[in-house]
Structure 1
Amino acid sequence: MSSAFLKNETADAPVVIPARAPLPPGTPNYVTPRGLALLRAELTELEAEHAQLQAADASDENDRTRQLALLNGRIANLNQRISSAKVVVSQNLDEVRFGATVVLQTRTGPLAGTERRFTIVGVDEANATQGLIAFTAPVARAMQGKRIGDTVSFRAAQREEVLEIKDISYQTD
């Protein structure tokens, strides 16, 4: 039987560090100020978890070693993301740029007339269920440089969608 089907991992099995959201090759790691704060908060949490695990008495030293290796890898990946982060604050507030919150109205198809709201953020901050889309997403790329009243076409879910930009806003801190 393959070891992939066994619940217990051996002490010498490699530790698999989960990858962070990918950036296309050569693409800068743009982040919003909020996105950078979230990355730093995540790092603080991981470091606290690491310190707690190091200080704990372990009943299974192999498991503790694996958990520490996993945390070390996640911390290293996160430190790399933070060090490569380029905070973007948009200057041209009347067109869609990084950090914009955009209200779009569907112009075609079965959802015609439906409005959606998206905020263009960095890849680590993206969460489609919260309306946060990565600047690398097709719809975000299609909206770049557009203004209120402009239409955007892009391919989504087996059909071409046409969306009209109804509003553009930027969070000011």
Structure 2
Amino acid sequence: MSRGFVNEDDQEEIPFVPPRADLPAAVTNYVTQFGLDALLDEKQKLINEKEQIDITNEKEKRITTNYINAKLKLLNERILTAVVIDLSKQPQNEVRFGSFITLKIGDDTRLQRYQIVGVDEADISKGKISFISPIARILTDKKLGDKAVLKLVNAERVFEIMEISH
């Protein structure tokens, strides 16, 4: 249809929905039970938000509803593909998905503690790193006292495993 026959006021703005954390197509969506619970909690909050939309302008209400529906669609895909890893069944003496790892990084005397988690759970400010991150990949299968080397563009960073817990 020609633009000449379209009422400009009928054109709705398509809301941009930011993508979820990157998970490559061929990679299994591993999560901790805490991670799955957080996804389900997020879903319930979106459903509640959608039910409580209090906008009288029909156009704005449709845009808001479409935005929430798009977020729910992405979230539901993550929930449906989630594979919960039972942390109690992980080898206790190796770094695996869900492990809490205390690391000595390079010459730094301060120890740092991280947990390897699913992509939606990852939050470096909380010490949670994604299992597909370069650091998690070099640490996986290592044992207490082992060192792992991350090759950077102009240097190498050495991570020494000081403690592993689940």
Distance 1:82 1:104 in 2: 31
Match of 2:121 in 1: 125
Give the conservation status (yes or no) of the 8 Å contact 2:97–2:131: yes
Take 1:156 and 1:72, find their aligned partners in 2: how far apart are those partners?
41
Partner of 2:86: 89
Residue 107 of structure 1 and its aligned partner are, at CA, apart by 2.9
After TM superposition, the score normalised by the length of structure 1 is 0.84
SS in 2 for 1:102: strand
Aligned partner of 1:116 in structure 2 is 112
Q: Which sections of structure 1, spanning at least 5 residues, go unmatched?
A: 1-9
Task: Quote how far apart the aligned CAs of 1:163 are.
Answer: 1.2
Aligned to 2:104: 105
Structure 2 stretches of 5 or more lacking a match?
Answer: 1-9
Matched residue of 2:114: which SS?
Answer: strand
Alignment check: 8 A CA contact 1:11 1:62 kept: no
CA displacement at 1:11 relative to structure 2: 4.2
Distance 1:129 1:156 in 2: 21
Whether 1:60 aligns to 2:73 is no
Q: TM-score by structure 2 length?
A: 0.88
Amino acid at match of 2:132: T
Q: How many residues align?
A: 156
Among the aligned pairs, what percent are the same residue?
A: 35
- Structure 2 contact 29–78 (Cα < 8 Å) conserved: yes
